[in-house]
Structure 1
Amino acid sequence: MTTATATFGDVDIHYRDSRGADPVPVLLVHGMGSDGATWDRFAGSLAGRGRRVIVADLRGHGRSAHAPSYRFDEFGADLLALCDHLALDRVDLVGHSLGGHAASLVAQSQPDRVRRLVLEEAPLPLRAGEELGTLARRLPSPVELWHATTSLLRSPRATFAFDRSMTRSLLEQFRTPQPDWWSALPSMSASTLMVSGGPRGMVDPARLTAAMSGIPDGGAVTIEVGHSVHRDRPREFESVVSGFLDHGGRG
């Protein structure tokens, strides 16, 4: 894969591109505290099947630059800017955790651009009227702590490159109701697959059911392994997601 950096506004975004003639490339987006290397196995599998694969490092992660702010809409805008930069009129998006949420914003803002969308363990925002308790707002959950610890052990380079100043802002955004996100679900025309890690993951079952009812062409699968399905159950993830990318939710 070739490596490059593109500047969007005041942020340099690093990405890798397998190139090739695939008319609908696959853009892979990692989660908070990780980087594009988390996709190496899956990216290699897709490329071996003839897919063009693009792997991005989000702002404040990996080899991309730190940024003055880390709003959800900025992560989504960076992905759209990368698509523009690479002249991608149509794309399949696969995002894990924060990357999945950013990918969902792309699918909501430019529905015709995203053909297929995979949201792996993307924490679903609170709905209008939902609240977290004071303690939950102040402390990370055991799942978040476990994922951070295992990520440090498995990928120390990504952990040390991560701009930890974004953590408070991102957690607060995830813990604040986002009614606009929910109201935009019907606008998503992409065939969408939500991948949950089960009870040890971060996807709230009630919100998952609500999201599935709002997405016109949506489906869900559970692989009970926790928050990083692609990392901890790579064969199952590849089987499910590669098949979905080939055929979509309706075959």
Structure 2
Amino acid sequence: MLETEGTFFTGAEGNRLAADIMDGGGHPVIFLHGGGQTRRAWDATAEAVARQGMRAVLVDQRGHGESDWVESGNYGFSHYGADAACLIRQVEERFHARPSLVGASLGGLAALTAESREGPLLETLILVDITPRLDPRGVDKIQGFMADRMEEGFATLEEAAEAISAYLPNRAPRRSLDGLRKNLRRDADGRYRWHWDPAFIKGEANINSGSEELMQELMAGLPALHLPVLLVRGMRSELVQEEHAREFVSLAPGASYVDVGGAGHMVAGDRNDVFAAEILKFLARDQAA
């Protein structure tokens, strides 16, 4: 793996956002993970991007990983969008170029909210298995898994791995628990818990607060989204159906989409080889234009 520089950015409430930069010296590309993940979800993809001469900026979103748990408890999509807008501006100021952004699920909606409300901010946008139109059954499944052991946690890393395997039965078993360890914190009672603030799910201003209104707003704004957008959908996605992808590209003038076979909602984790190849192709085409 390339050497990484640890750094911090500042969110919309003055909250600290932990980040790593894999510096290939060129165009900045921000990576925003999905809900319940951390920036470590992007390590392999970001390294591939950096090796192609770009700057990969991997960020823990508010309440996740090493970033601040906000005292306000504000974890709605609008709050993540406000953070994304602040982050994008800071990256542009630091590297003197309007960045591209790769956003999975929560990260993609945060970027889309920022661009729709405060843009133009981005050079290009890659959405990973997310559109403003979602299958509610898939949303319930994902949030149900996140909430299931949120407070109880796990006695061992092996127990956590078993829970993930039961949730993602089509994914190959883990060869090592090192990657999983980065997504968990070990509390004073010795148990492992997910590396995110439980208020994300159960707080008054949780991820579902105001979500329906925001999704309607984002759908209505798609015809004005003129920057190049690539939607990467997992063919087995429980969240984004094919009709959702087709609707999205029909409404957003600069949008296109690709399906990744053998992948579910966690596209980068399921088929990172294919995923990385697709986003590198898209970013290279944009830089050559």
1:167 and 2:201 aligned = yes
Structure 2 residue corresponding to 1:157, chosen from 169, 182, 185:
182
1:112/1:212 CA distance change after superposition, 3 Å? same
Q: Give 1:171 shift.
A: 4.0
TM-score (norm 2): 0.73
Partner of 1:145: 145
Partner of 2:37: 34
Report if aligned partners of 1:121, 1:203 keep a CA contact under 8 Å in 2.
yes
Partner of 1:104: 112
Q: Give 1:240 shift.
A: 0.9
- Indicate the structure (1 or 2) with the bigger Cα radius of gyration: 2
User: 5+ residue gaps in structure 2?
Assistant: 149-162, 168-176, 185-193
1:63 and 2:71 aligned = no
1:99-248 matches, cutoff 5 A: 99-125=107-133, 140-141=140-141, 145=145, 149-150=163-164, 155-159=180-184, 160-168=194-202, 169-171=206-208, 173-174=210-211, 178-224=215-261, 225-248=263-286
What is the SS of the residue equivalent to 1:220?
Answer: strand
TM-score (norm 1): 0.83
RMSD across aligned positions (CA): 3.0
Q: Give 1:57 shift.
A: 0.4
What is the SS of the residue equivalent to 2:183?
Answer: helix
Q: Give 1:250 shift.
A: 11
Q: Give 1:229 shift.
A: 1.0
1:94 and 2:73 aligned = no
What is the SS of the residue equivalent to 1:83?
Answer: helix
Report if aligned partners of 1:98, 1:123 keep a CA contact under 8 Å in 2.
no
Tell me the alpha carbon deviations over residues 49-93 of structure 1, each in whole angstroms, 9 at most, x when there is no partner: 110111110000010011121121211221221222331541111
Over the matched positions of the two proteins, sequence identity in percent amounts to 24
Q: Counterpart of 1:96 in structure 2: which amino acid?
A: A
1:72 and 2:77 aligned = yes
User: 5+ residue gaps in structure 1?
Assistant: none
Structure 1 residue corresponding to 2:5, chosen from 2, 12, 25:
2
1:14 and 2:28 aligned = no
1:208/1:250 CA distance change after superposition, 3 Å? farther
User: Matched residue pairs, number?
Assistant: 241
Report if aligned partners of 1:197, 1:222 keep a CA contact under 8 Å in 2.
yes
Alpha-carbon distance between aligned partners in 1 of 2:287 and 2:52, rounded to the nearest angstrom: 19
Q: Give 1:199 shift.
A: 3.4
Q: Counterpart of 1:223 in structure 2: which amino acid?
A: V
Tell me the alpha carbon deviations over residues 74-126 of structure 1, each in whole angstroms, 9 at most, x when there is no partner: 11221221222331541111011111111111222344321211101125346
Q: Counterpart of 1:5 in structure 2: which amino acid?
A: F
Q: Counterpart of 1:157 in structure 2: which amino acid?
A: K
Q: Give 1:174 shift.
A: 4.7
Tell me the alpha carbon deviations over residues 216-249 of structure 1, each in whole angstroms, 9 at most, x when there is no partner: 1111111131011111101100111110111149
What is the SS of the residue equivalent to 2:18?
Answer: strand
Q: Counterpart of 2:15 in structure 1: which amino acid?
A: V
Considering fraction of residues, name the structure with more helix: 1
Alpha-carbon distance between aligned partners in 2 of 1:200 and 1:143, rounded to the nearest angstrom: 15
